[in-house]
A and B are shown apart, each in its own frame.
Chain A
Amino acid sequence: MKDLALRALDAVARAGVAYADVRAIETRDREVTTKNGKAGHVSSSESQGVGIRVLAFGCWGFAATDDLSKEGVEAAARLALEIARAGTAAKKADVALAPEEKYEATWVSPCAIDPFSIPVDRNLAVLLAVDQELRHDSAISLAEASMRFERERQVFASTLGSLIDQTRTTSGAGFSALCYKDGEIQKRSYPNSFGGQYQLQGYELVEQLDLLRHAPRIAEEAVALHSAEQCPEGEFDLILDSSQLGLQIHESIGHPIELDRVLGTEANYAGMSFLTLDQLRRLRYGSEIVNVVCDARLEHGPGLGTFAFDDEGVPAQQTDIIRAGQFTGYMTSRETAAAVGETRSNGCMRADGWARLPLIRMTNVSLKPGRESLEEVFGADHAIYMETNRSWSIDDKRYNFQFGCEIAWEMRGGKRIRMLKNPSYSGISTEFWNACAAIAGPEHWTLWGVPNCGKGQPEQVMGTGHGASPARFRKIKVGSAYAG
């Protein structure tokens, strides 16, 4: 791998580029799913390739190949250079990069139990036991459970002289129960929807999730939702569980602070951001108790956005995004840091494998825990408590959002009064965070993984981390998804 990276770097460096970096990557993954008592998707995959990024003629060029022969790598290097030259046909200014140090490092993410050491039949046995438990109630029409594991080793080499060897192992697991009856579909998931929980861990994550213990409750709730009342429409105090709050952070804080969006380079696809440069250190983004960080360091936790170095060789860092409600920082890259007066990137460039170019991506964007007990968070006179995401949508500048959840309860004085089906809430990002009234403490804080964040053209899928505790928000618009 190191030889491959250095060989590819040498192929472009000889051409006299202003800068170049190379990522040689080998990836291994496994996916095991079950559905209604049977094995579903059982697969394993391996991939190797190299991505070559050059800065020449003032423009970027990038070419990636899985032809790792001398000829294949040299052809990719030539193509990257030709692409950079082609970019001069529509160039406004030469690309300039913030300075960065040279690093030589080897880093392996913590992994107590190698997931690839666990045989597939043991994976299936765990999932089929969950499946059987879910289908004890014959009203469950679809029980699905899954595990996914990935290991990626990346050797990064740049013309700065950096040579960084990183290996990251991620795991994910979860299940869902769907009940169709009487012209209605209801679904419950554990520990989160859309595949469950994902972290930078080994098989120990699956053991921590204790899937089987939660299966009876999830099945029971999926069936009970059919008898629940429709979530009312109106303004209510809203309490969110930490997984839904994690996605709320992702959509209404994480994406708006991507500096490439702010500067317009995602305008055609992912969109731009309401956080224009004039808002930095001026905008009141949240209430006094809202503190948000972007933190790729291992100290933050085993998130999908945890690493030692980003994909342009910048060390992992923590950046304050919102401090006591004040907007204080963006996610940057070496190319964009100067736009916000920074002399150095804060290390947020990440690429989806060897075939794609690094972009500014979320690492772990987390809401710091508050000081309230869970009883205080739930202690409002009258509120609606929602759990587990069902749908999510936000405009292309990240102002107006609408989320649906799988289940809700009407709360009075901290007690669950009645279950509600089809809950949803909506609002404007800054107004929502300014309405934050209570955040539970660190003992209730979970670092959730979002494994499927899409961005870029060609599209790249990235895993991001979002830590949150349950929190309460004042006077939020509820129920608009079913309005009209």
Chain B
Amino acid sequence: MAFREYTIGVRMFGLAFGTSMFITLYMPASDIREVSVTEVGLERQLSFGRVGGFSYEDPLLQGHAKPATIDITEDPKTGAPIEPTRAYVYTAGVPFPNGIRHPVILGAKPEELSVNKGKILAADEAHGAVFIVGTEDIAGETVGYIENATATRGWTPDAAMKVATEETTHYIGKGKIMFVREGCWWCHTLLPEQTQDWQYFGAPPMLGDFNGESPTAFGSDRKAPDLTHVGSRNSSKEWMIMHFFNPRLVQPHSIMPRYDYLWGDNDAAGNPIDYDGWRAEYDKYVANERVYPPEVPVPAKDSEAHALIDFVLNLK
């Protein structure tokens, strides 16, 4: 740096690069910080749990330490019938979503309601908690907030899981891990494109739909339908099971890979799955030597396929 022009140049570089970083980092970040979370955003982060990618609790992305989402019509504490309610059960040790760990990211009004009315600061990861999404009308505007039902209603995680059945328990958080790990988002976007795409794949997300979620996994290279609202377009679990096991069973022209390996060793009845036998029979079906394809095994409750289907069907 012996020359004066290089001293000037380095300062100019610092100024130019610093200004650029200010405009592209500080200004958008402070703008996005002002955004209040929507009810969709609350439901997403409560059902996904803290992180959808690599984390301390789940370094190998097996779907460990994730909440269960349950639909209940019975108060877990009193047993009295209640309006159909979706609750998010965090058993002891499952990390809370970011909106609870850092309520500031919920935005001003939802933060205030969640802290004061929803008592989220009373929740403790070591003991677990049950959360629900509450709403409050403030000056004609409906504001969603997180309610810590363990503190406000006395619902414990154990009691909540007892009133839920197998059909009404969804492993959406584990399913999101599968979605990320298996690279579904390399082909299926979670963000409809502009204009006409909205008519085909549904409404675009709103500004506050993602507060607290990580990763957002929007996807960029779309080789397959957008999945933002797939659960509203197709709610058939049977179709999903066939499609994930071998997409060509329901859509002969599909280029989606088979995800049969997510079924694991045993099916829902506990019987071992004979993959080689299935494939041999399927090849016969493709060769027109069978009229119907072989029966697809139903995934076990704790299988990765089950969780992934829960995640996809709940993209509404």
A binds B: no
Residue positions of A touching B, CB distance < 8 A:
none
